[in-house]
Amino acid sequence: MMQPDADGARDVLARAREVLRRVFGYEDFRGQQAGVIAELIRGGDALVLMPTGGGKSLCYQIPALVREGVGIVVSPLIALMEDQVRSLLQLGVRAAYLNSTLELEEMREVEARLLAGELDLLYVAPERLLQPRTLDLLGRVRLALFAIDEAHCVSQWGHDFRPEYLQLSVLHQRFPSVPRVALTATADARTRQEIVERLALQTARVFSDSFDRPNIRYRVTVKDRAREQLWRFIDSEHPEDAGIIYCLSRKRVEETATWLSERGRVALPYHAGLPPEVRAEHQRRFLYEEGLIMVATIAFGMGIDKPNVRFVAHLDLPRSLEAYYQETGRAGRDGLPANAWLAYGLQDVITLRQMLESSEAGEQRKRLERHRLDAMLGFCELTTCRRQALLAHFGETLDQPCGNCDNCLESVPTWDATEAAQKALSTVYRTGQRFGVSYLIEVLHGVKSERVLALGHDRLSTFGIGLELEVAQWRSVFRQLVARGLLDVDAEGHGGLRLTEACRPVLRGEQRLLLRQERRQPRQKGKPRGAPSAFAAPADQALWEALREKRRELAREQGVPPYVIFNDATLREMVEYRPETLEQLRLLYGVGERKLALYGEEFLAVIRAHGG
């Protein structure tokens, strides 16, 4: 192939943009999309690092449509494939998938269409792709490109490791002239290096977008009857929205789902202990129904493309900032406002440390996980902008505080806790570095409990020296000392606290310690966050509801999730601009040629019925 000149490159992008508008109904490329697309059309390889919702799919879908031949997409999750294919079919793109859910006959049909050159995009599960039969098939057709989605699945350090991904370098060996693109939302340098090495992408151009998700509001609360706190959050801010709640254990998932159901929300559990068909059904309902809450362990989420998840809540502390960012990233893919809400307490830290220590993992792995947990804790105890810290963790700089996290919206009062910390640390030391927080507070408060008396701790010099703080305040002090690494949790024993090297300067009075002051009644300042669906004018609200009803009706007829018809952002624009003709409707976000033809008149009729 000839190296295209500058005009050629412009020409390529013009064609890509034409497809973007006509097929997808979008005005322009975002972030690095144009660069990736040009590179692939030119025949080069690419590694794409973009946050969730950044628009990775278009990076390979458009080149597959522009280039001759079929684009092969490797995707680790069946649900994700089905979702994408469904959406593409709605857009009039000739797409199909090959995975274990197909009957033999259906499989043969897809293969026949592939051989006949009737497909633009074919999604394939990695184990299926690696079968000799599939590779032979691919050898007989013209290939536009290979896209390796969720490429971080090659990483053995990650939670999503898929052994088959390690063998994908075979694609390069068998089809050296076909461009390849690997895509992921996992940004850390180590994973990135693994992707490059294992997929033989050393010469690929790297395209990296900012990982910021400005529409997500981050909030962290200290646990104090966590469920009630959760309920206040959901009930006041997301009374009708879809969301995901993450818990650490299956038991807690079940309990929380039941409890939410009793309070009148539709909430379903999802964890690895449920039979596969139940999981599949719950996932299907999450996609197809509106306003459903999924209560899940980390087993749920990868490849969930639902664009209008309005909140992600964590009832337990995630294991790492990477996990937290990935999980919260499932909120607000459509770019509309969304919430990330987390409640945590010292007990979370103890539980996670204990799980870690008792796991089978090797010492190196454990050390890595301990570091990750520490970073997560540090994030929770921040008094400054959380987004700045998150982005810094992923190697990005945000110059100004974001204005859209709890610490930005409401400044965090701090207090000089040097003396309190000294009392707390000496009590830990004098009681032998083996007790938990409750007992330590008994000693500080001078409680003559049976245990205190039996151990003779009423004779310690720190007995009863902490009356100036209440139990909750002492708990906060201990928690922050752990988070800052001045105390350590004995995870092999019963979660007793021990001193660390780092606490010396504070004990000796060489270092002052400022801690965050817990708010008694967390107030909500800043703009109250209603559902983004709420409109001020009743007429607008009525039209919005009617448009949603029309969407539900069409979705039911077609057997697809409502957002596949049109997403919320498109419906919002219909309310805002009230188009009267197909020509006007065509200009709105996400209205491409085919959807205009399929649904245009029906939606215009709804708008007209509401006064045009």
Among 44, 69, 307, 530, binds ligand ADP (CB under 6 A): 307
Structure tokens at 316: 């337990």
Closest CA to 584 of 566, 598, 604, 610: 604
From the list ligand ADP, Zn ion, none, pick the one residue 87 interacts with, judged by a Cβ distance below 5 to 8 Å according to partner type.
Answer: none
The residue (of 26 and 157) whose beta carbon lies closer to ligand ADP is: 26
Closest approach, Cβ 578 to ligand ADP, in A, equals: 21
- Tell me if 88 sits within 8 A of 81, measured CB to CB: no
385 binds, among ligand ADP, Zn ion, none (CB under 5 to 8 A by kind): Zn ion
Binding test (CB under 5 A) with Zn ion, winner from 40, 323, 402, 487: 402
At 146 the three-state DSSP class reads strand
Residue (290 or 305) nearer to ligand ADP, CB: 305
Residue whose tokens read 């807690």: 252
Q: What is the separation, in whole angstroms, between the first and last Cα of the chain? A: 53
Query: Interface residues for ligand ADP in 10-39 (CB under 6 A)?
Result: 26, 29-30, 33
Residue closer to ligand ADP, measured from CB, 80 or 503: 80
Residue 580 C-beta: closest distance to ligand ADP, Å: 24
Query: What distance in Å separates the CA atoms of residue 373 and residue 319, rounded to the nearest whole number?
Result: 5
CA–CA separation, 255 vs 239, rounded Å?
20
Cα–Cα nearest to 390, from 157, 213, 206, 514: 213
Tell me the CA distances in angstroms from 416 to 410, 512, 524, one per residue in order. Answer: 19, 7, 25
* # binding residues, ligand ADP (CB under 6 A): 16
Please classify residue 513 by burial: count the beta carbons closer than 10 Å to its beta carbon, then call 0-12 exposed, 13-18 middle and 19+ buried.
buried
Site string for ligand ADP, 40-79 (x = CB under 6 A): ----------x-xxxxxxx---------------------
Please give the residues from 318 up to 357 whose contact with ligand ADP meets the rule CB under 6 A.
333-334
Whichever of 185 and 482 has its CB closer to ligand ADP, that residue is: 185
Q: Please report how close the Cβ of residue 376 comes to ligand ADP at its closest, in angstroms.
A: 23
Q: Please choose which of Zn ion, ligand ADP, none residue 52 contacts, taking the beta carbon within 5 to 8 angstroms, the exact cut-off set by kind.
A: ligand ADP
With a CB cutoff of 8 Å and minimum separation 6, the contacts of 353 are 370, 373, 489, 491, 495
Choose, by CB under 5 A, the member of 405, 421, 424, 425 that binds Zn ion. 405
Rounded Cα distance between 442 and 471, Å, is: 9
Which residues, 396 to 415, sit near ligand ADP by CB under 6 A?
A: none
Beta bridge pairs of residue 342: 220, 314
Which amino acid would we find at residue 401? P
Which position among 257, 342, 408, 543 is part of the footprint of Zn ion (CB under 5 A)? 408
C-beta of 74 vs 441, nearer to ligand ADP: 74
By CB under 5 A, which span of 76-84, 122-130, 398-406, 548-556 interacts with Zn ion? 398-406
Which two three-digit tokens encode residue 589? 């976000």
Closest CA to 121 of 195, 67, 175: 67
Q: How far is the CB of 21 from ligand ADP (least distance, A)?
A: 10
Q: Give the residue, chosen from 39, 194, 290, 305, that forms a contact with ligand ADP under the rule CB under 6 A.
A: 305
387 interacts with, out of ligand ADP, Zn ion, none, CB within 5 to 8 A per kind: Zn ion
For residue 395, CA distances in Å to 296, 309, 392 come to: 29, 27, 5
Q: How far is the CB of 61 from ligand ADP (least distance, A)?
A: 8
CA distance 393 to 396: 7
Residue identified by tokens 């996670």 is 352
Map residues 231-270 to x or -, x wherever contact with Zn ion holds by CB under 5 A. ----------------------------------------
Query: Which residue's structure tokens are 């294991």?
Result: 319
**54 binds, options Zn ion, ligand ADP, none, Cβ within 5 to 8 A by partner type:** ligand ADP
566 binds, among Zn ion, ligand ADP, none (CB under 5 to 8 A by kind): none
CA distance 155 to 189: 12
The entry of ligand ADP, Zn ion, none near residue 29 (CB within 5 to 8 angstroms by kind) is ligand ADP
DSSP classification of residue 405: B
Contact 580, 604 (CB under 8 A): yes
**Residue closest to ligand ADP, measured at CB:** 55
Site string for Zn ion, 520-559 (x = CB under 5 A): ----------------------------------------
Closer CB to ligand ADP, 55 or 76, in the complex: 55
Q: How far is residue 331's CA from residue 293's CA, in Å, rounded to a whole number?
A: 12
| Interaction mask 370-389, Zn ion, x per CB under 5 A | ---------------x-x--
Residue 182 vs 408, nearer CB to ligand ADP: 182
Are 313 and 341 in contact by the 8 Å Cβ rule? The answer is: yes
# chain residues binding Zn ion, by CB under 5 A: 6
Q: Measure the CA–CA gap between 397 and 279, rounded to whole angstroms.
A: 39
Q: Which is nearer to ligand ADP, 58 or 607 (CB)?
A: 58
- Determine which helix (DSSP H) or strand (DSSP E) holds 202, and give its type and residue range: none
DSSP state of 21: I
> Which entry of Zn ion, ligand ADP, none binds 490, CB below 5 to 8 A by partner kind?
none
Contact 310, 243 (CB under 8 A): yes
- Binding residues vs Zn ion (CB under 5 A): 385, 387, 401-402, 405, 408
- Binding residues vs ligand ADP (CB under 6 A): 26, 29-30, 33, 50, 52-58, 305, 307, 333-334
